Structure 1
Amino acid sequence: MHADTPYEITPTTPYSHPADHPTVVRQPVILPAEIPPGVDWVTLPNGVRTLAYTHPTPPAAAPAGQPIPAWAKTTALLAPTVGGGIAAAGIGLSYAAPGLIAMSHALWSAAALLVAAVTAVPLLLRGTRRAANGGSGGSGTTHITQNITAGGMFGRANGTINHR
């Protein structure tokens, strides 16, 4: 008996005459728990069931998957690039934040200066005109009146302008 084989395997002897066959072959009873791995019950072509070494059945081949569309590959390749660009922009804005805050304050100051100039310049001009006209409010003003008349819905309009 070999050291690796837990059971002794003896081949049957060929019989030359059918009368030489034993009528009853007594085989030892083996429980299913005692059958070693790689050994299983098989049925021979002559109908006899016996234990034999079997080859493990190969696993079933996985079904072939669908090819990945080109747009999915492109999207997958662009995703890290877009994410990296957003990250770089965020880092750049974090470094530029103090300068951006200062520029926004300067822009608000410039806007306030522009609004002040738009309102102050006419007031200053009005004050200088009064001073140039002698300071009187009534003599330097001119009244303009306009009268427009039209006859009918699509008639021609006529008007007069009076300076006083």
Structure 2
Amino acid sequence: MVIDVMIAEPGELTQQDLASAEALVRAAFGDSFRTHDWLHGVDGVHVLITEDDALLAHASVVTRTLRYDGEAFATGYVESVAVRSDQQGRGLGRVVMDHTESIIRAQHQLGALNAVESAAPFYAARGWMLWTGHTQADTPDGAVIDTYHPDDRIFVLSMANGAQRFSASLPLICDWRVGDLW
């Protein structure tokens, strides 16, 4: 069996590819995964792991803007990370995130994601920093709103290319989008 990694830029996946990826992610997250959750990642760069043409793992990196201490960062925001349940334990999550993080490092100043509780140790072990500070979001009318939610586990992947160190003493601010802001 040969594992293949496919990197698809926005618009390169067929409707069938997208439907397969959405089904995989929905199966992983169950009823808590809503339509807007999937739509957040559709226009991103997709990482697909297949074996014998069967989709085993998926992630998407979308471009967002995060602000911190008056500076805006072009951010690779990770969405829809999933490994097919019967394939877990094979290191496919590591493989999909290796490629996802490579995309972030090549195309963005910063990486960020909001992890489910069970995945938090996985991201922390990969060097992602749990954000313990305040979170906010820009609104379409120019206001800034608080976005703290106890279920959020925001992680930041700081880059070695000069991005400043983040301190929880200042808020991390995301751009606006429909549905969950983080």
Which range, TM-score by smaller chain?
Answer: under 0.3
TM-score (norm 2): 0.19
- Greater percentage in helix: 1
Report which structure shows greater RCO (CA 8 Å, sep ≥6): 2
Bigger radius of gyration: 1
